[in-house]
Structure 1
Amino acid sequence: MKILSWNCRGLAQPGAVRAFKALLFDSSPDLLFLCELKTAETTVIRSCLNSARLSHHFFVPPVGLAGGLCLAWKHHIDLEILTHDNCLIHAVLTSDSNLSPWLFTGIHCSSITTQKTRACFDVFFKNLFKTDFVDHLYPFPEDLDSLFPSVISNSENEKICSIPTPSDIKKVMFSMASNKSPGPDGFPPCFFKSFWHITGTSVIQAVQAFFKNKLFPHALNHTLITLIPKIQKACRVEHFRPISLCNVVYKIISKIIALRLKAHLDKFIAPNQMAFLKGRSIQDNTIISHEIMHYLHKKKGKKYLMAIKVDLAKAFDRVEWPLLIRILKCFGFCDTFTDWIFRCISSSSFSLLINGHSFGHFTPSRGIRQGDPLSPYLFIVYAELLSRILLRAERNDLLKGIKISRTSPPISHLFYADDLIVFCRATIDDANAFSDCIDLFSNWSSELINKDKTVVHFSSNTPNSLKNQILFHLGFKECNHKEKHLGLPFCKPRSRTQAFSNLIEKLSLKLSGWKSKCLSQAGRTVLIKSVAQSLPIYHMNSFLIPKTICYKLDSLMLRFWWGKNSNHNILALKKWDTLCTPKSAGGLGFRKTEDFNSALVSKLSWHLANNSNFFWVSLLQSKYLHNKNFFDIEQAKPYDSWLWKDIVLANCLIDISQFNLVKSLMVHNSNNWNLDVLHCIFDLDTVHEILKTPIDAENETTKLLWTPSKSGVFLTKSAYLSIIKPRLLAPNFDPLWKKNWKAKIHDRHKIFLWKLANDSFPTKSRLAKNFPIEDTSCCFCFNEAETIEHLFFNCPFAEKNFFCSKWKFNCSHFSHLNFTDLLSLLLDYRNLIFQSMEVRAEFIIFCLVAWDAIWRQRNNFLHGKKASSFEYLLRWIHSTTADHLFAQSDKSICAKSGVLCSSWQKPKLGYFKFNSDSSFKDGSAFGAFVMRDSNGSLIHAFTSHCHCLNVEAAEARALLDSVRFANTHNVENAFFESDNLNIIQMLLWPNLAIDWASKPLVDEIRKFWHKWPTWRFKMIQRNTNQPAHNLASWAASCSIFGPLDLRLLPLCIFCDGGYPFINPCFA
């Protein structure tokens, strides 16, 4: 007798019902006990139980929203209910196969295990957050101040201690992720954003009150601790990471302080710390550590080296507050700022959150919270103490760092937050010095080393006797080839395949947990793009993954997308290469793992070629490129590191070994192209393209530009497209694809259309191409072969569905077209088949819903399931179409509500306004600007013609014309308006990546702006920039360029609310 018990916790969702049915089908229980049911679900459960032949049921209704029990059994079981209540069912039963009676008790209630678990976590965290120093009397070290010189000036202190303005508070509030987990008050950031007009004033007052009085309500800083398992099958308290859930208002306060602290960290945090600072990243740490570990692996001679991977146990939770504040003061932060920080970390209180229920309440006396925006920056300040102690030992020659080449600097340690690696000589003296440094740090800070996780790796030439002595002295274990550092191999593994095989396990585990049967292919598409393909990116950023691993990952995603049957077989009617084609070329936009891996690693090659200001770049240059050019390296040497071999392989994507400088094509000491040289080297079309490129007037130093991206900055996306571009066929770029993906229909229907256009439906005719199928006739009419065209359009069953619609659509009129042509006709908004766009949109949805219904009906017929009647099917099609239309109308109302109409505004008295625009076609730009005064009267108009590479460059050229005119005529008070957002953003934010074709023009505009600081630039809507737009179009049609006679301009140009009165004072 098979018994199944399940805490279903409600069966309200269709996915849960399907999972329940699958569970019953796989297990086929004789007796089933369910708990935590809802009253409204009884009908659904009865239906599921009957389908599983559990014909006898006994229900105990829930009390309110809690409880609810069900006991179900098959007909061959004789069962009698003895007693029951809202927590248990007590019964005696006898089976036909075994006449001996059995006593059955089904119980649903909280067990003593839960109480023990809560008590265990409660005691552990209370002890963890309790300071080691009695009565909080912290013994400050005498030589602490000598380690931390003051670097923060009085003026900087005044700035960081200013009271935040309402705009500062609002900016911080709206920079938070909307759906972050809420704190104890239950309100996530999206609540405050949505109702800022109501809550804004109170929030601003609460935040400013803290910065003025250093006080806030105690409940505001109460925190829930949620436990995240670090490993699979976590069974000890140490296996969980405590993440703090803070209230949003407290997070605003914390983030304001964090931003002010972060702005000064690079002044005193050692370059060995790679975390949380601008210009430093986890990749710096992994690259440098990999190169040093490779150096140890290849080390020969009599100098022995070692690397110690240190694990600090619960590092964030052991931070002693008085020492942290003292370190901040040593760096020069004033009392006001340190008091704010101390108030934030010391006024907190905790409750534990386990299985959705909070319990306990305690106040910590040390530790900083993971989840508090301020904590990461406070910790790297705290960890700087250990970094300074190690650097002092290195200066005193007690520890000696490792140099991987003659010209590279010695590296004694690397930090990434609390992950530490120490590099030194493999000697007893260096081991003693390391132990002294760690002991000193532990005595001062209460931090402890986890000796179970701390390992030592020795250079390959170190004798075993010396290894054993050092390991015994330190009390650590020796590193094995499976050891990881920051998720990547620490020691050099035996093979690459072995090193990265865990990626396959992770992806398999992730995909198996998603239950592809419960997801549509549109849902699977989203999960693959957002999660599955993101899983290996961290590893692929630094190394080329073996092809076997890449193929296996692609295979897993392919099987997940197509779905598998009970025998784990799949029917993939399109290859993975087709699915990985861009959407515009007929694919789904997935990424091939191998190609994307190459694009990611090529970014490292780009940084080396461009001499980027990263520590790892200088380190690799000192080791591999001493007095060499990166592009002269054709092949890595056999004994080079994995990383360097991968970078050299990826160099082929950006190989410019046969290049010349652009200045060789220019007239000497001039900003003009040398036409004679251009015509000697290039063909006529290429010369025309070069002439469109503006020359930088500032003659900046030589630099590389990544031409596949507009900004000239290397982008992984453009690198990936460059890799796959040779494999794309021009005929694939059919307008149909763009129409499909831009259509206002459900994503599931977009996938449906894609499969139709790609002949990817498993119709009988399609399957006959791959399998020996004798009968390919349609299951509805049995007259013709079951093709896509016949099944969805020409079959009498399909024709009947369309003719019974309100359009009375006759499919026979289009029977001469194939299905691809039909889809193009359907999605093309320019055709005149429909009366209006609304009718066309409704008919498209109707077709998709009808085809979906036909396909479901066909499957029911084919697999022997009960098919719906035609009348029911027609009603379902019309009701579902109405649902889709209603959802679309709701979205369109929301979109229209945000549209604002505006008109051109006159400048204030004493100011002039310049409006510029450009007409661009086939590389020719026709620019124009108009100048008007505070009365709206037309002062001046100008048109020009030039060659440009793109629209942005054309718009920038037109704006530059107006700026040059204003500079020539000394117009001090001027407003410049353009309807091109990109150009205005380039001007207003100098650090923004600029379109490389527009950069010389934008830089020249900035130069004039620096000369006239009262000028203002603004982006406006197209409808308020009509005069400039119309003038540019008119100039293009008439070929009239230069200053214009205002009296000859057509009045129709001015239609934006300005006044066409002429005042030609600059004529």
Structure 2
Amino acid sequence: MKANIRRSKNKIETITDTQGQKLYKDTEIENVLVDHFKNLFTKQDTHNIKETVQIVEGRISQDMHQELSKIFTKEEVFQAIKDMKSLAAPGPDGLPALFYHNYWEIIGEDVTNMALDILNNNSDPSHLNSTYICLIPKTNNPSTPSDFRPISLCNVSLKIVTKTLANRIKDMLPEVISPNQSAFIKGRLITDNTIIASEIFHYLAHSKRKNGYVGIKTDMAKAYDRVEWDFLEATLTSMGFPKSMVSTIMNCVRTVKFSILINGHPSQEFYPQRGLRQGDPLSPYLFIICADVLSGLITKAQQDKLIHGVMICHEAPEISHLFFADDSLVFCRANTKEVSTIQNIIQIYQNASGQLVNFSKSEMVFSKGVSNQIQRDISNILPMKILNQFSKYLGMPVALGRSKKQIFNFIQEKIWKKLKGWKEKHLSFAGRGTLIKAVAQAIPTYLMSSFLLPKGVCDQLEKMICNFWWGSSTDHRKIHWIKWSTVCKHKMEGGIGFRDLRAFNEALLAKQGWRLITQPDSLVAKILKAKYYPKGEFLKASHKQQMSYTWKSILQASWVIKRGSYWTIGSGQGINIWEDNWIQQKGNPTSTISKPNNCGLIKVKELMDDNYNDWNVTIINQIFNPYEAHMIQQIPILDKTQSDILTWDGTRDGHYSVKSGYQAIMEWAKNSDNNNATSSNSSMEIWKVLWKLNVPPKHSHFIWRCLSNAIPVKGKLFKKGIRCDPLCPRCLNHVETIQHVFLECDWAKKVWFASPLTLNLNSNQLTEFYDWFNYMIINTDKECMEKIVAITYEIWNTRNLLVFQNKDLPPQEISANALKRLHEFKSFEEQRTPIQKPSHKSCRNNTSWSPPLRGCLKANVDAHLSSDGRWLSGLVLRREDGSAVGSATRMHKGSGEAVLGEALALNDAMEWVAKFINHQVVLETDSQTIVKAIKGRMRIRKDWGWIVQRSIIFLEENPNADIRWVPRSANRVAHEMAKWAEIEPNSEWINCVPTCIWPFIQKDKYFVAPD
């Protein structure tokens, strides 16, 4: 139904041609659209391409060139298809990525060979390169071809090729693309631009400089569609991309043929001569590479002092431009000389690239003090609108006055429009919940990532969402049966899991603060540090006069990072003993200690042994009480040559995430609320079981309302002051309560007894519905609980049929109807095609240990936590026949997470096998987390992260070595060795193992199939 409505809404009934005449016939509409896009994609004359692209010459370093020139592998092709969304729109062949995911084992080899032939042998991809153009309306009532945005629907087979190219290119771009561009670059965000822009406009609004500035926001007309292919090829070549890669890219770009989808039917085909397809995975990266030519031209003018960007303070970087894809914001001094330079640069770029500035949609603003005459002179050079201030930049308000609530009203209006259009009467609670989470609560996320919304705005948004949830409207208010704070709790704590907007806002802003700490070399970090904490650190920054609202917002959320993070110790040079959080206790990363009198020690480094990676026990015992001394000595010192690292406690890798930040804020709020007792295990179990049942979502939501005492039975309505008869409509003898409707009424008892469950509900059983449901969970299985849920829902439906339509059904039909609907739901679920990602087919059963290849060695390693809280390592090195080359045990101070113990064991193994490195050595561990981090070259901020980095370096320096994951069952010998380390720690055995380990060695020898 929804698809039909959308199709009807988007149908092109008429089109206006270039003569202003309205056309209605299908053939006429097709001709107009095809002619328009043929013209748009037709090559135009360009000038001075070679000279223009010299500005980006040599951006690709020799190391990058070497990496880009490597032969493409089947693993890269596999990763490309794995990364694609399963149900994204397919191309002309009609095959979505889901087809490739589900049948990769059958078609994978052929598809991989096809892709590698194009990537490595520069084969012609034209047979894959047919593309539909889907027309997306840019306005509510599109009337001309320019009112549509052309989105390309490429064949997935072609997208596999371009996605593989994109995956290889994108890792190089942070070093290649100017820091003034933030789109599609790893480590950069759109909010980098909006925060910088906000700071600049805040500065300009308060600046009293005589030399004013102008901010120019340009609109590039059809930016993707106008990229000239010769310019693209010249740019890639000038940057230094390998010739073979440039040739492959241009083959994929130049061999395309288009067909426009008009009301669901493809038009005649035509061949474009320029443009990048919006919908091709490679296009965004090619576009920002081209745009960097313009960035380079502006930067060169700035370096030559032909223009001057804005410096918001003395030490801040000078900002002359900010780019995000095709959105450009340029700054210079407000005089005709500099503006003429900008105009000249734009003209040079347009002539070479094919881009065209749409001056009618471009705008500019001036800082205070720029006279009207100068503004008029500048507008004669750049004929665009002059505004007092930009209302928005990249969808974000940049000029904020005193009334923040008034400025942020637009977000309320946006959400209200969505809520009004959903027709909540036709949606179940489950449907409303899905829409609230996916849309209503997602809309303000972008805004909240840069601004702390006023409490009144958050309250108003939550009120709107709450009204929608309970079915209220402007003319009819429904009862809100449960407090909104309870509804916002996690599902495992009795809520629905809606977000607390204020807490989520703070979690998003804390992410910005975390990026300032962890990416100090980013452009946004340099600017904010220069202005607000030039000689200090972000976490110690304080409020100042004339702060922008963006900075106030980020600073106000810094408490989240302070409370939820701790220092992982490296050299100890940067950690203050008494002020910083470095003694991590479980669940309390913010543990600090009091400074004793007459103690001159300041840095953690002063507590370390000068000669070893260990603590100075004598000093520690002198200064700290026994408990503190013990806690300190449990902290491992892994490498004093490394810098100290701020670590977020709430994630496995130590990096802050918005999800973990939000969870932490909610947990802290719960713990600080004395009236909010922690949920018991039995309470959590009932919610855990409920949400895991395989029943229709509206059934589980209904039971949640029953368990939360939020069903509008007559007894509750009467207490609320609603004029109604509080008695049960069936028996007319008792007040209608939740437990009466489902458990106590004679009619309900007959339903339960007549069902296949044959439940006999007598007065001795639990009568509160919550207690009864919990009792049934404990004493029945999952399948039985699903039937109970279905029957409960049907009892309520039948009750409503009686109350509102005066119709009734016999008890024996109730369970039959309920179980029939449950069966239909399960059958439908089973028939749905599972959306699964392709996986490499395992070539052997690796549940048992397998020997190495002939002439190679294999080291198995595992960790074990001793009874006194120390990490023990067990190592065994074996030949291809299963015999032992040697074995060893190690002991380490400190406990910590299990992954740290596994990492220490792996580190011991790397040191121990170093003397055998002339052989090919495979190291096996049963820690999937560590192997995944090593293979993915992840930056881990926790203590075990240093061992991951060592492992990466170890593999780079020793090409004969490899580190792999195996299940625990294939690592049994190492596991037993780690346990034996408690008896004989720090010991080695040559050509043998301890006697108690021998039976396990013998058992593994039975498995002779090599790797």
TM over 0.5, shorter chain: yes
Alignment partner, residue 644 of structure 1:
551
Instruction: Letter of the 2:215 partner, please give it.
Output: A
Deviation string for 1:916-968 (max 9, x for gaps)? 24358996666655565544457647586864122222333444555555568
Aligned-partner Cα distance in 1 for 2:956–2:112: 36
Instruction: State the 1:488 CA deviation.
Output: 0.9
The match for 1:863 among 799, 804, 815 is 804
The match for 1:952 among 888, 899, 915 is 899
Instruction: Letter of the 1:719 partner, please give it.
Output: G
The match for 2:486 among 573, 578, 586 is 578
Residues 354-369 of structure 1 correspond to what in structure 2 (within 5 A)? Answer: 354-369=262-277
1:117–1:821 distance in 2 versus 1, CA, 3 Å: same
Alignment partner, residue 251 of structure 1:
159
In the alignment, structure 1 residue 387 sits paired with structure 2 residue 295: yes
Unaligned runs of 5+ in 2: 10-21, 564-575, 581-601, 671-675
Instruction: Letter of the 1:869 partner, please give it.
Output: P
Instruction: State the 1:306 CA deviation.
Output: 0.9
Decide whether the 8 Å contact of 2:607 with 2:616 is kept in 1.
yes
- Structure with the larger RCO, 1 or 2 (CA within 8 Å, 6+ apart): 2
Residues 49-448 of structure 1 correspond to what in structure 2 (within 5 A)? Answer: 112=24, 117-133=29-45, 138-140=46-48, 143-144=51-52, 146-152=54-60, 160=68, 164-211=72-119, 214=122, 216=124, 218-266=126-174, 268-333=176-241, 335-448=243-356
- Counterpart secondary structure, 1:144: helix
Decide whether the 8 Å contact of 1:481 with 1:491 is kept in 2.
yes
The match for 1:530 among 429, 438, 441 is 438
Deviation string for 1:158-211 (max 9, x for gaps)? 764565344433332332222221111111122123223443344344434445
Aligned-partner Cα distance in 2 for 1:820–1:924: 45
Alignment partner, residue 777 of structure 1:
727
**Which stretch of the first structure deviates more once superposed, 812-821 or 339-348?**
812-821
In the alignment, structure 1 residue 595 sits paired with structure 2 residue 503: yes
- Counterpart secondary structure, 1:390: helix
1:885–1:686 distance in 2 versus 1, CA, 3 Å: farther
Alignment partner, residue 693 of structure 1:
635
Residues 409-558 of structure 1 correspond to what in structure 2 (within 5 A)? Answer: 409-481=317-389, 483-492=391-400, 495-558=403-466
Aligned-partner Cα distance in 1 for 2:210–2:795: 79
Instruction: State the 1:972 CA deviation.
Output: 5.9
Alignment partner, residue 710 of structure 1:
652
In the alignment, structure 1 residue 745 sits paired with structure 2 residue 694: yes
Alignment partner, residue 526 of structure 2:
618
Decide whether the 8 Å contact of 1:1023 with 1:1056 is kept in 2.
no
Decide whether the 8 Å contact of 1:1024 with 1:1056 is kept in 2.
no
In the alignment, structure 1 residue 722 sits paired with structure 2 residue 669: no
1:576–1:631 distance in 2 versus 1, CA, 3 Å: same
TM-score normalized with structure 1 length: 0.80
Aligned-partner Cα distance in 1 for 2:215–2:890: 68
1:259–1:964 distance in 2 versus 1, CA, 3 Å: closer
Decide whether the 8 Å contact of 2:850 with 2:1007 is kept in 1.
no
In the alignment, structure 1 residue 672 sits paired with structure 2 residue 580: no
Instruction: State the 1:674 CA deviation.
Output: 4.4
- Counterpart secondary structure, 1:449: coil
The match for 2:707 among 737, 757, 764 is 757
Instruction: State the 1:435 CA deviation.
Output: 2.2
In the alignment, structure 1 residue 854 sits paired with structure 2 residue 795: yes
Decide whether the 8 Å contact of 1:584 with 1:733 is kept in 2.
no
1:846–1:687 distance in 2 versus 1, CA, 3 Å: farther
Decide whether the 8 Å contact of 1:584 with 1:734 is kept in 2.
no
Counting aligned pairs with the same residue, the percent is 32
Instruction: State the 1:826 CA deviation.
Output: 2.8
**Which stretch of the first structure deviates more once superposed, 593-602 or 393-402?**
393-402
Instruction: State the 1:442 CA deviation.
Output: 2.6
1:565–1:494 distance in 2 versus 1, CA, 3 Å: closer
Instruction: Letter of the 1:904 partner, please give it.
Output: W
Alignment partner, residue 592 of structure 2:
none
Aligned-partner Cα distance in 2 for 1:263–1:274: 14
**Which stretch of the first structure deviates more once superposed, 1040-1049 or 406-415?**
1040-1049
Aligned-partner Cα distance in 1 for 2:520–2:120: 43
Decide whether the 8 Å contact of 2:755 with 2:812 is kept in 1.
no
The match for 1:797 among 744, 747, 750 is 747
Decide whether the 8 Å contact of 2:215 with 2:365 is kept in 1.
yes
Aligned-partner Cα distance in 2 for 1:641–1:114: 55
Instruction: Letter of the 1:745 partner, please give it.
Output: N
Instruction: State the 1:616 CA deviation.
Output: 0.8
Q: CA RMSD in A?
A: 3.9
Deviation string for 1:955-1003 (max 9, x for gaps)? 3344455555556899966543332211332343432435x14335556
Decide whether the 8 Å contact of 1:294 with 1:641 is kept in 2.
yes
Deviation string for 1:343-388 (max 9, x for gaps)? 3222222221133222233222222211122222222232233223
1:344–1:961 distance in 2 versus 1, CA, 3 Å: closer
Alignment partner, residue 905 of structure 1:
850
**Which stretch of the first structure deviates more once superposed, 184-193 or 622-631?**
622-631
Decide whether the 8 Å contact of 2:365 with 2:389 is kept in 1.
no
Aligned-partner Cα distance in 1 for 2:667–2:530: 35
Aligned-partner Cα distance in 2 for 1:452–1:119: 28
Decide whether the 8 Å contact of 2:129 with 2:155 is kept in 1.
yes
Instruction: State the 1:850 CA deviation.
Output: 0.9
Instruction: State the 1:414 CA deviation.
Output: 1.5
Instruction: State the 1:425 CA deviation.
Output: 1.0
Alignment partner, residue 818 of structure 2:
877
Instruction: State the 1:1044 CA deviation.
Output: 10
Deviation string for 1:306-364 (max 9, x for gaps)? 10111111111112222222233333345544333333222222221133222233222
Alignment partner, residue 23 of structure 1:
none
In the alignment, structure 1 residue 1018 sits paired with structure 2 residue 964: yes
Aligned-partner Cα distance in 1 for 2:834–2:277: 43
Deviation string for 1:585-636 (max 9, x for gaps)? 3222221111111111122223334563211101111122233443443323
Instruction: Letter of the 1:463 partner, please give it.
Output: S
Aligned-partner Cα distance in 1 for 2:253–2:764: 73
Aligned-partner Cα distance in 2 for 1:697–1:9: 60
Aligned-partner Cα distance in 1 for 2:657–2:328: 31
Instruction: State the 1:126 CA deviation.
Output: 2.1
Alignment partner, residue 985 of structure 1:
932
1:171–1:708 distance in 2 versus 1, CA, 3 Å: closer
Instruction: Letter of the 2:808 partner, please give it.
Output: A
Decide whether the 8 Å contact of 1:481 with 1:493 is kept in 2.
no
Deviation string for 1:433-472 (max 9, x for gaps)? 2222223333333322212211111002222333233224
Instruction: Letter of the 2:741 partner, please give it.
Output: L
